[in-house]
């Protein structure tokens, strides 16, 4: 159960969000829309990331700086768990366990996000589906929470629309699957609400609507009091 905590409301102060494994900033954008001041960390340069950016190792960064933030989001790369990569598992290190350990040590509330294929690595994850947020795709993502924070998903609608086959333009009434070398980058930008991203970022991202939902739940669970 989510603990109610008092946090100080200082005029002009926005709660600080640490966005680990940030890529082009899908997750970040939802937290920013909910009023967070966002800092992202990625091992690779991310010139499209729209917020404060630090290039470096996410686990090292959270060990050193995690306690300076009000809430921490982590999206470790999913290649180790995805079906297509099962044969080359050893080429992709398990980052979920070390990330969890580092997050727990901060004493801050946090969320770890990953793909459905990583379900066995995550503890009691909540599933979010893009169709629940009015998008024309499903893109299930799992979210494990910790540090005294939990949240509930919105109502998960039945999957009635068929998925257009990969690499083909979306057929009328169908939903799209934005993975691999999908076609229709401009359509995906509109659908997922990520107009600044290229195909690489879209393939990897969480739609900002997911993290806006989580951020709103987090802010509602804290009683913000005047300083
Ligand atoms: C699945 S993407 C994150 C997507 C992002 N949450 C979003 O919504 O747009 C994973 C990212 O982790 C980065 N990455 C991989 N290993 C890393 C590490 N050790 N430290 C920091 N970033 C890392 C990759 O460069 C990639 O951009």
Residue range 7-54, pLDDT digits in tens: 555 666 899 999 999 999 999 999 999 999 999 999 999 999 999 999
- Find the range with the poorest average confidence among 36-40, 88-92, 192-196, 197-201: 88-92
Indicate whether residue 204 lines ligand 1 (CB < 6 A). yes
Task: From the CA of 19, give the closest atom in ligand 1.
Answer: 6
Nearest to 49 by CA among 211, 180, 201: 201
Q: Hey, which of 21, 65, 79, 196 would you mutate to test ligand 1's pocket, going by the most ligand atoms within 8 Å of its Cβ?
A: 21
Collapsed DSSP state (helix, strand, coil) of residue 146: strand
| Mean per-residue pLDDT over the chain, rounded | 90
Q: Hey, which of 27, 43, 103, 113 would you mutate to test ligand 1's pocket, going by the most ligand atoms within 8 Å of its Cβ?
A: 43
pLDDT at res. 13: 81
1 pLDDT more than 50? no
Q: CA-CA distances (angstroms) from residue 222 to 38, 91, 150?
A: 18, 41, 12
Q: What is the mean pLDDT of residues 115-130?
A: 96
pTM, two decimals, is 0.92
Residue 216 CB partners (closer than 8 Å, separation 6+)? 34
* 87 pLDDT tier (thresholds 50, 70, 90): low
Name the CATH architecture for the domain at 5-157+207-220: 3-Layer(aba) Sandwich (3.40)
Q: What is the mean pLDDT of residues 106-129?
A: 97
- Find the range with the poorest average confidence among 36-40, 82-86, 170-174, 195-199: 82-86
Give the residue whose CA is nearest to atom 12 of ligand 1: 21
Distance, CA of 147 to CA of 138 (rounded, Å)? 28
Instruction: Count Cα atoms within 13 angstroms, Cβ side, for 148.
Output: 14
Domain boundaries, the chain: 5-157+207-220
Q: What is the mean pLDDT of residues 203-221?
A: 96
Which residues share a beta bridge with 9?
226
203 pLDDT more than 60? yes
**pLDDT tens profile 50-65:** 999 999 999 999 999 9
3 pLDDT more than 90? no
* 88 pLDDT tier (thresholds 50, 70, 90): low
| Local structure of residue 79 (DSSP, 8 states) | T
pLDDT at res. 89: 59
pLDDT at res. 73: 98
């Amino acid at each position: 159960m989510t603990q109610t905590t008092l946090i100080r409301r200082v005029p002009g102060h926005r709660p600080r969000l640490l966005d680990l494994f940030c890529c082009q900033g899908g997750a970040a954008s939802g937290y920013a829309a909910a009023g967070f001041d966002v800092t992202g960390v990625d091992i690779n340069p991310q010139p499209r990331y729209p917020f404060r950016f630090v290039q470096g190792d996410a686990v090292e960064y959270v060990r050193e700086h995690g306690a300076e933030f009000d809430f921490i989001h982590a999206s470790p790369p999913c290649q180790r768990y995805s079906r297509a990569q099962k044969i080359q598992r050893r080429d992709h290190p398990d980052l979920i366990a070390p990330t969890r350990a580092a997050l727990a040590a901060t004493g801050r509330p946090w969320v770890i996000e990953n793909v459905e294929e990583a379900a066995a690595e995550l503890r009691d994850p909540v599933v979010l589906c893009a169709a629940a947020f009015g998008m024309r795709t499903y893109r299930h993502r799992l979210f494990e929470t910790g540090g005294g924070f939990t949240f509930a998903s919105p109502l998960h609608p039945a999957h009635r629309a068929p998925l257009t086959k990969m690499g083909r333009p979306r057929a009328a009434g169908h939903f799209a699957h934005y993975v691999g070398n999908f076609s229709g980058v401009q359509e995906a930008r509109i659908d997922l609400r990520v107009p600044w991203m290229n195909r690489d970022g879209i393939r990897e991202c969480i739609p900002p609507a997911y993290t806006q939902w989580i951020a709103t739940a987090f802010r509602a669970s804290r009683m913000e009091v005047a300083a």
